[in-house]
């Protein structure tokens, strides 16, 4: 179901609806808790949910190309979107998102609780860069998604930050053991 009043939904997610509790409750949600059908399908289409492939409607996302990547940083840039991820021992990953020349703000709660030891790796022959992060813009240009596989060791978190109309909405987070 796609909600016709997305700005109201975004406000409720960020501020907290009466009876739901604090806003921090809504900062990290599971994909199953994303009730807007379009957002749900676009987040699932980022590729971290292969079990949902073919079950959701087809969506069009424009991938933001990876320009530079190492264990300590990643830069994705193209089509009026620039995403920079940097490692920070104190705060987890630092995220900068610029869309159409406007820097989007992620509240501190949207970044805390994550640790990662790399943004990219290499294949078994140490030949090709394998990114653990990606970014995409919706076909209509109003939404941007930044995806990161974060974690230390076998316990990983699949994290997707969701922005709409220049505003941070929430982060979708799932735990995985690899």
pLDDT tens for the 178 residues of the chain, in order: 444 444 434 433 443 333 333 333 357 788 889 889 889 889 888 866 656 666 667 789 999 998 988 777 889 999 799 999 887 666 667 888 999 999 998 887 777 766 665 667 666 665 555 667 889 999 999 999 998 887 766 777 788 999 999 999 999 988 877 6
131 belongs to a structural domain: yes
Q: In terms of residue numbers, what domain contains 78?
A: 6-177
CB 95 within 8 A of CB 106: yes
Whether residue 1 is contained in a domain is answered as no
The pTM is what? Answer: 0.77
Three-class DSSP labels, the chain: CCCCCHHHHHHHHHHCCCCCCCCHHHHEECHHHCCCHHHHHHHHCCCCCHHHCCCCCCCCEEECCEEEECCCEEEEEECCEEEEEECCCCCCCEEEEEECCEEECCCHHHCCCCCCCCCEEECCCCCCEEECEEEEEECCCCEEEEEEEEEECCEEEEEEEEEECCEEEEEEEEEEEC
Count of structural domains within the chain: 1
| Residue 70 covered by a domain | yes
- Predicted pLDDT of residue 16: 38
User: Which residues is 63 bridged to in the sheet?
Assistant: 136
In a domain, 160, yes or no: yes
């Amino acid at each position: 179901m796609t909600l016709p009043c997305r700005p109201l939904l975004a406000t409720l997610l960020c501020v907290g609806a009466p009876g739901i509790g604090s806003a921090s409750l809504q900062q990290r949600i599971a994909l199953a808790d994303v009730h807007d059908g379009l957002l749900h399908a676009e987040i699932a289409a980022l590729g971290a949910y292969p079990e949902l492939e073919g079950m959701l409607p087809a969506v069009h996302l424009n991938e933001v190309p990876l320009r530079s990547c190492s264990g300590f940083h990643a830069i994705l840039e193209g089509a009026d979107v620039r995403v920079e991820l940097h490692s920070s021992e104190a705060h987890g990953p630092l995220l900068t998102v610029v869309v159409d020349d406007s820097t989007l703000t992620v509240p501190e709660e949207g970044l805390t609780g994550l640790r990662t030891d790399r943004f990219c790796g290499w294949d078994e022959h140490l030949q090709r860069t394998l990114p653990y992060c990606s970014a995409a813009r919706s076909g209509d240009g109003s939404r941007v998604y930044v995806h990161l596989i974060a974690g230390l060791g076998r316990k990983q978190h699949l994290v997707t930050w969701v922005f709409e109309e220049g505003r941070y909405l929430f982060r979708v987070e799932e735990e995985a053991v690899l």
